[in-house]
C-alpha cells in the first residue's frame, strides 16, 4: 500500500487500530488521518488550529463496525433502512461505513493539499452482504482533499438499467469545547423532522440551533452554508455544500450518550454532528448511466471577542 500510494514525507500508510490500514498526512498546511475502512476521515487539523474533528477513544475499529467520530460516510441509506426493499438485517446508516474501501489514486496539489481517491467494492461481491441487491449497480467513489480546507466528495454512478434511489450523508463529528455554549447558524426558516419528537415536521424559528438536551434533526430542502460557532473556543467551523439538500444536526445529550458504549463518557459535551446530506424527501434518484456528486468543504476561523 505505502509503496503504491504513499507520498514521500507527506502521506504514510501503516497499520492503525484493530489492524486496519490507516493513512497519515503531515504537510505544511495540515495534519490528518483516514482509514480505508469506511473511507473514514479520523483527524484533520489545519496548521495553527486545534483538531477540527471529534474522535472517540472508545471507538470500535473492526470489520462490520463503524468508527465513532471523525467523518463516517452514510450511504446508501440514512438511519434505519426505509427506502426500497427491507429484507435482510440492514445495518443502520448503510454499509459504506462498515466496509473496506480501495485506494485508486493519491496526489498533492499545487497548494500543498493531499488528495486521496477511494472506491467501495460492489457490495454484492462482499462476503458479509445483507440481501440488498437493489444497490448492486451503484458504484461509489470518494474524493478527499486535506489542505487548509477539508474537501470531501461522494460520486455515485448508476451502471444499471433502472433508476436507483439512495440517501447519503457525511456524518461529521465536529469538535467543540462546550456543547452548551455552541450554536449552529444558517438554518433559520428551514423545515426539519424532529426525531426526538416522533419525527414531527417543524420549522427552525430561532436564528440559531442551541443544545440543552438531545437534538436530532434532518433539515430538508436547504442548500446554504452552515456555521458552527464554538463560543467557548472562539472558533467557527464553516461547512459549504454542493448537491446536498439536507443538513442533519445531532448531539445525543447526556441520556442517549450513556447508551452508546463506544462514546467517551463526556464525549457528547465535545462534539456536534452537522452532516451534509441528501435524506428523506431529498433522497437522490439516479437514472441509468448518470452520476451524482455531493461534496462539502470545511474551513475554520478563530475570532476574538
Ligand atoms: O445523524 C443522526 C443519527 O442518525 C442519530 O439519530 C443517531 O442515532 C446518530 O445518527 C448515530 O447513529 P449511529 O448508528 O452511528 O449510532
DSSP for the chain reads -HHHH-BTTTEEEEE-GGG-EEEEEE-SSEEEEEETBTTEEEEEEETTS--SB-B-TT---STTS--SBSBPEEBS--SS--SS---S-PPTTBSGGGSB-EEEEEEE-TTS-EEEEEEEPPGGGSTT--S-GGGTTEEEEEEEEESSSEEEEEEEEE-SSS-EEE-EEE--EEE-S-GGGEEEES-TT-EEEEGGGTTEEEE--SSEE--SS-EEEEE-S--S-EEEEETTTTEEEEEEEES--EEEEEE-HHHHHHT-TTS-TTGGGGEEEEEEEE-GGG-EEE-TT-EEEEEEEEEEEE---
Q: Supply 183's cell numbers.
A: 450554536
Weakest mean pLDDT among 54-68, 127-141, 271-285: 127-141
| Nearest atom in ligand 1 to 195's CA | 6
Ligand 1 binding pocket includes 216 (Cβ within 6 Å): yes
Phi, psi (5° rounding) for residue 139? Answer: -120, 130
132 has pLDDT over 90: no
By most ligand atoms within 8 Å of CB, the mutation choice from 250, 253, 258 for ligand 1 is: 250
What is the 78 CA–ligand 1 centroid distance (Å)? 9
Among residues 108, 107, 75, the alpha carbon closest in space to that of 92 is found at 75
Contact 224, 243 (CB under 8 A): no
Which pLDDT does position 292 carry in this prediction?
98
Q: How far is CA 66 from the centre of its chain?
A: 11
Which pLDDT does position 83 carry in this prediction?
63
Q: Supply 160's cell numbers.
A: 444499471
Which pLDDT does position 148 carry in this prediction?
97
Q: Which whole number is the average pLDDT over 29-42?
A: 98
Residue 86 confidence class, pLDDT cut points 50, 70, 90: low
What is the distance between the alpha carbons of residues 202 and 49, in angstroms, rounded to a whole number?
36
Ligand 1 binding pocket includes 40 (Cβ within 6 Å): no
Residue 62 confidence class, pLDDT cut points 50, 70, 90: very high
Ligand 1 binding pocket includes 79 (Cβ within 6 Å): yes
Q: Is 301 exposed, middle or buried (0-12, 13-18, 19+ CB in 10 A)?
A: exposed
State pLDDT tens for residues 198-209: 999 999 999 999
266 has pLDDT over 60: yes
Contact 45, 70 (CB under 8 A): no
Q: Which whole number is the average pLDDT over 184-195?
A: 98
Alpha carbon nearest to ligand 1 atom 16, residue: 260
If one compares 150 and 81, the residue with the highest pLDDT of the two is 150
Q: Which whole number is the average pLDDT over 220-239?
A: 97
Residue 90 confidence class, pLDDT cut points 50, 70, 90: confident
The answer to whether 171 is a known catalytic residue is yes
pTM of the model: 0.96
Q: End-to-end alpha-carbon separation of the chain, Å?
A: 47
103 has pLDDT over 90: yes
Which pLDDT does position 295 carry in this prediction?
98
CA atoms within 13 A on the CB side of 70: 25
Ligand 1 binding pocket includes 92 (Cβ within 6 Å): yes
Which pLDDT does position 57 carry in this prediction?
98
Q: Which whole number is the average pLDDT over 262-285?
A: 97
Ligand 1 binding pocket includes 236 (Cβ within 6 Å): no
Q: Which whole number is the average pLDDT over 70-75?
A: 98
Planar angle of CA 170, 121, 275, nearest 5 degrees: 5
Among residues 58, 64, 126, the alpha carbon closest in space to that of 91 is found at 64
The answer to whether 275 is a known catalytic residue is yes
Q: What percent of the chain has pLDDT over 90?
A: 89
Which pLDDT does position 128 carry in this prediction?
56
Catalytic residue among 37, 171, 270, 292: 171
By most ligand atoms within 8 Å of CB, the mutation choice from 65, 93, 197, 277 for ligand 1 is: 93
Residues for the chain: how many in total?
A: 305
127 has pLDDT over 70: no
Which pLDDT does position 183 carry in this prediction?
98
Q: What percent of the chain has pLDDT over 70?
A: 94
Ligand 1 binding pocket includes 171 (Cβ within 6 Å): yes
125 has pLDDT over 70: no
Which pLDDT does position 134 carry in this prediction?
85
Average pLDDT, the chain: 94
Phi, psi (5° rounding) for residue 155? Answer: -105, 125
State pLDDT tens for residues 173-185: 999 999 999 999 9
Amino acid at each position: 500500500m505505502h509503496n503504491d500510494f504513499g507520498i514521500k514525507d507527506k502521506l504514510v500508510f501503516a497499520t492503525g487500530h484493530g489492524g486496519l490500514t490507516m493513512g497519515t498526512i503531515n504537510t505544511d498546511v495540515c495534519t490528518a488521518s483516514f482509514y480505508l475502512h469506511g473511507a473514514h476521515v479520523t483527524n484533520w487539523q489545519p496548521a495553527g488550529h486545534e483538531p477540527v474533528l471529534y474522535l472517540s477513544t472508545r471507538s470500535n475499529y473492526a470489520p462490520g463496525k463503524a468508527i465513532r467520530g471523525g467523518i463516517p460516510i452514510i450511504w446508501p441509506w440514512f438511519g434505519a433502512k426505509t427506502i426500497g426493499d427491507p429484507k435482510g438485517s440492514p445495518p443502520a446508516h448503510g454499509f459504506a461505513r462498515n466496509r473496506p474501501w480501495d485506494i485508486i489514486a493519491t496526489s498533492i496539489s499545487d497548494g500543498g493539499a493531499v488528495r486521496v481517491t477511494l472506491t467501495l467494492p460492489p457490495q454484492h461481491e462482499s462476503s458479509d452482504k445483507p440481501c440488498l441487491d437493489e444497490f448492486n449497480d451503484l458504484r461509489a467513489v470518494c474524493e478527499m482533499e486535506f489542505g487548509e480546507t477539508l474537501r470531501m466528495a461522494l460520486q455515485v454512478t448508476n451502471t444499471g438499467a433502472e433508476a436507483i434511489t439512495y440517501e447519503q450523508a457525511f456524518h461529521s463529528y465536529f469538535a467543540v469545547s462546550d456543547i452548551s455554549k455552541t450554536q449552529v447558524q444558517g438554518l433559520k426558516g428551514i423545515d426539519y423532522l424532529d426525531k426526538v419528537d416522533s419525527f414531527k415536521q417543524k420549522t427552525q424559528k430561532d436564528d440559531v440551533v442551541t443544545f440543552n438536551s438531545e437534538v436530532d434533526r434532518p433539515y430538508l430542502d436547504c442548500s446554504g452554508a452552515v456555521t458552527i460557532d464554538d463560543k467557548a473556543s472562539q472558533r467557527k467551523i464553516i461547512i459549504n455544500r454542493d448537491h446536498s439538500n439536507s443538513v442533519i444536526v445531532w448531539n445525543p445529550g447526556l441520556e442517549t450518550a450513556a447508551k452508546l458504549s463506544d462514546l467517551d463518557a463526556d464525549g457528547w459535551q465535545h462534539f456536534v454532528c452537522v452532516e451534509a446530506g441528501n435524506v428523506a424527501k431529498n433522497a437522490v434518484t439516479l437514472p441509468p448511466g448518470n452520476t451524482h456528486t455531493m461534496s462539502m468543504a470545511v474551513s475554520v476561523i478563530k475570532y476574538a471577542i
